[in-house]
Amino acid sequence: HVLKCCQKVLAWVPVVFIALVVAWSYYAYVVELCVSIFTELLFVYFIAVVYLVVFHLSFVMFVWSYWKTIFTSPASPSNEFCLSKADKEQYEKEERPESQQEILRRAAKDLPIYTTTASRAIRYCDRCQLIKPDRCHHCSACDICVLKMDHHCPWVNNCVGFSNYKFFLLFLMYSLLYCLFVAATVLQYFIKFWTNTHAKFHVLFLFFVAAMFFISILSLFSYHCWLVGKNRSTIETFRAPTFRNGPDKNGFSLGCSKNLREVFGDEKKYWLLPIFTSLGDGCNFPTRLVITDPEQLTVSSQNEPAKSSGANQSFPPRPLSESQNRLLTSDSQWAEGGPEEENTKSGSLHCNTSDES
């Protein structure tokens, strides 16, 4: 217990470090630059006002998105993915993996499960004692299963997943803009340091810090923009999810535009605000079929239950959730694999980030 408490305290060290750097940057820019330097030069006083307005706008958006990334609880699978008491007792009694898988297949037959392990087994978390939804992974740091887990970020002391991925992207974007603005506006005073010994040390150091963070964040932000365009998580980049047709790293990709909407939502006016607008419930995601020909699609859909009901029974039946249709209606080549899905009504994607296992 003491060790866990120490680990929890130490986990906040990177966050405290970032908070101190941000607080110091605010003091250095507002007090040491805009107040001290510009008040000495009255003819450029209006420049200080413009600088302060833009600075505070970027500062507020940066802090807001960072706060939301840190304190938004990771979304966990709902209770429907937990085994019943009888199934759990039977699962624990069984010693043969084949028998355990049979129990899991029976429990998962009505769940929207589309992927399995590489060995075609149902993905089950022994720690949380639940069947893992697609794109869900167990975080050893948080000790919970996280929906659409991307990674555990020590700089926010939180898991980045379905509930806060949009906030994380905005945090990277606004921190990038914040550092760029600070470095660009401080540059001329950084140059004056070498010719003017009265230049402020804070201004010199502020330029170095802003430039350093800008370079490091730029690569990370670019990488996650690429992930959004491909509709992948960091985990899926290194280990492709396994579908009926085998591993497919692009299995959840619906095209760049739809992938973007899945993260940021349908209302573009909310895209740049750190408020939750992501589509879906985190447990159920539209998937891409490799076969796009309509005739082949029909034959494949009719034959798939027969294939999956063989000796291995690698996949359970695939019920369609109402929340999967919106991103699929405008493009006929994207479709879910079951024949019953053609009769599903189109509806708004539901957002639910408060479910706990």
Catalytic site residues? 153
User: Which of 68, 86, 63, 234 has the alpha carbon at shortest distance from 146?
Assistant: 234
Element (H, E) at 70: helix 45-71
8 A C-beta contact, residue 132 and residue 78: no
8 A C-beta contact, residue 62 and residue 21: no
Give all strands (DSSP E) within the chain, no chain letters. Answer: 124-125, 130-131, 137-139, 144-146, 151-153, 158-160, 242-243, 246-247
Element (H, E) at 222: helix 201-230
Pairing of strands 144-146, 137-139: antiparallel
Q: Any idea what the Cα angle at residue 170 is, between residues 165 and 175, rounded to 5°?
A: 130
CA distance 350 to 323: 6
CA distance 74 to 142: 9
User: Which of 307, 312, 314, 262 has the alpha carbon at shortest distance from 288?
Assistant: 262
How far are the Cα atoms of 80, 167, 263 from residue 75, in angstroms, in the given order? 14, 14, 15
Rg of the chain in Å (alpha carbons)? 25
CA distance 32 to 48: 12
Classify each residue of 292-322 as buried b or exposed e, where b means 16 or more C-beta atoms within 10 Å of its C-beta: eeeeebeebbeebeeebeeeebbbbbbbbbe
How far are the Cα atoms of 97, 124, 204, 286 from residue 102, in angstroms, in the given order? 9, 12, 65, 26
Main-chain dihedrals φ then ψ at residue 130, nearest 5 degrees = -150, 155
